[in-house]
Amino acid sequence: MLRRDQQLRTQIYMMLDAVLFGLAFWLAHVCRSTWPEDFLWMHWFPIDPFEKFKWLLLLIIPGSPLVLEAQGYYARPFACPRSTTAWILFKSCVLITMGVILVMFFFKMFSLARAVPILFGFIGFVALYAKEELLRLGFKSQFARTQMKKRVILVGTRADTVRMGQDLKEKGVDNMEVVAELDLNESTIGQLVKLLHERSANSVILNAKHTYFGQVEKAIQTCELEGVEAWLVADFFQTQISRTSFDDLYGRPVLVFRTAPEASWQGIIKQVIDVVGAFVLTVLASPVFVIAAVAIRWTSPGPILFRQQRCGLNGQPFTMLKFRSMNSDAEQRKHELAALNEMGGPVFKITNDPRITPVGRILRKFSIDEFPQLFNVLRGEMSLVGPRPLPVDEVERFDDPAHRRRLSVKPGLTCLWQVSGRNNVKDFSEWVRLDLEYIDNWSLWLDLKILWRTIPVVLAGTGAK
């Protein structure tokens, strides 16, 4: 299925699921309010009318599909085992129910019976699972097979069409029927026209990897005249990790090969969270800023802040700020301690660095020395979450060009390396692997999880360098 079609179908499912969860909450309240006082050998008190609690729908209706999406509900194959669907639904309904209970507790909604959110989760689960079963039956019906199935012709060399046919079978694509295959290098455009007429095809999949581009152009023009969709499979070049997308450059169609996250609403929300979060954290931590500054000034000579050129997005240098935690001549003494470096690769790390001051050791233990980087976030040079920025001279010593891909996103205050026990990561390749894992799997949800995991790391001082 084309991504555009998949996105449209997902949006429809999300709206339907949101409505079902809203109805489930209403039904849960109706069921509880109609229970007799001695139902199930227990004494039940009357509850307030639904109008008092209907504002919760403003949270349940938009929030429930987001929880389902975070649990992978919309990303699973439609033909996946029923047990997989049931498990995802169960986890999602438990999370949504817990969310409702937390809101009740926070707003002291004690007049809403505790049975209501429990019933809500149960009814929501039953409603969505029933919807899944109805969809399965619907897609198996004769109407669905005739109305939704696409009749496609595979065009390309014999090897290309065989490979495409195998891919469609392996992906479990049940809404496509391959009605013919054609090798354009050995056939004419007239034969393609004949197949279009004889097989009543409504789509042509063109594999252009080993086909002459002139023939491909004629085939697309033919489909254009016939009113048949032409899908050009753009795998002309072998890439290992790039994700491709189609775009428009001033009226010219272009294929984009991208390894970093593309522009999206999630990315915009991430920037908003960066600015708002950095501002709020700066205000809340202002007493810590003052205490740290006074302690540094009184205990060791030198500036309060340490400034160093670090590599930002795509290697663009910027001045990173830190509370000074070392003696003022630390950079000059770095070459003297090179033999004690504990980190493999171009990065310099020593557990018990003799250049660290007593106050600096405390600052580092609880990551207070990193707090001034909130100003780097406010200036747009860093993000709250992202690969840690490295000094320019260390980046210049990268021995593997693939390591530079960690520069394809903004550096951050915290990252997977930070919350994975950074003292235990002694090999730079493992550090890079964690950074690339973050980049390849980035989502707003992943950022929130990393931020949440950072809190105990900072408070416990387990992330100290």
For 415-465, the pLDDT digits (tens) are 887 787 655 556 778 888 888 889 888 999 999 999 998 888 887 766 554
* Boundaries of every domain in the chain: 3-142, 149-236, 265-460
Q: What is the pLDDT of residue 397?
A: 83
Least confident of 11-20, 41-50, 258-267, 426-435: 41-50
Return the axis-axis angle of helices 265-284 and 444-460, rounded to nearest 10°: 20
Q: Confirm if 117 and 57 have CB atoms less than 8 A apart.
A: no
Can you tell me the mean pLDDT for 342-363? 77
Kindly state the DSSP code that residue 254 receives in the 8-state scheme: E
| Beta pairing, strands 412-414 & 203-207 | unpaired
pLDDT on residue 451: 93
| Closest C-alpha among 461, 310, 449, 448 to residue 388 | 310
Question: Between β-strands 243-249 and 229-233, what pairing exists: parallel, antiparallel or unpaired?
Answer: unpaired
Sheet architecture: strand order including 176-182: 176-182, 150-155, 203-207, 229-233
Q: CA nearest 434: which of 415, 421, 448, 450?
A: 415
Residue 380 or residue 241, greater confidence: 380
Res 278: pLDDT = 94
Would you say residue 106 has pLDDT above 70?
yes
Mean pLDDT (whole number) for 389-403: 83
Q: What does pLDDT average to over the chain? A: 82
CATH number of the domain at 149-236, out of 3.40.50.300, 3.40.50.920, 3.40.50.2300, 3.30.70.100?
Answer: 3.40.50.2300
Closest CA to 347 of 378, 310, 313: 310
The answer to whether the beta carbons of residues 352 and 381 sit under 8 Å apart is: no
Q: Are 337 and 354 in contact (CB under 8 A)?
A: yes
Q: In this predicted structure, what is the pLDDT of residue 377?
A: 94
Residue type, 90: F
Q: What is the mean pLDDT of residues 135-158?
A: 75
- The pLDDT, as a whole number, for residue 465 is 47
List, for residues 222-260, the tens digit of each pLDDT value: 888 888 888 888 766 666 677 777 776 667 767 677 778
Please, which residues bridge with residue 180 across strands?
Answer: 153
Chain-centroid distance of CA 54 in Å reads 32
Q: How far is CA 423 from CA 304, 320, 428, 442, 461, in A?
A: 26, 22, 12, 24, 11
Of 413, 417, 324, the closest CA to residue 377 belongs to 413
Please, which residues bridge with residue 152 across strands? 178, 203
Check if the beta carbon of residue 137 is closer than 8 Å to that of residue 110.
no
Angle at CA of residue 449, ends 443 and 451, nearest 5° = 105
Position 197, amino acid: H
78 or 118: which carries more pLDDT confidence? 118
Q: 82-106 vs 115-140: helix axis angle to the nearest 10?
A: 150
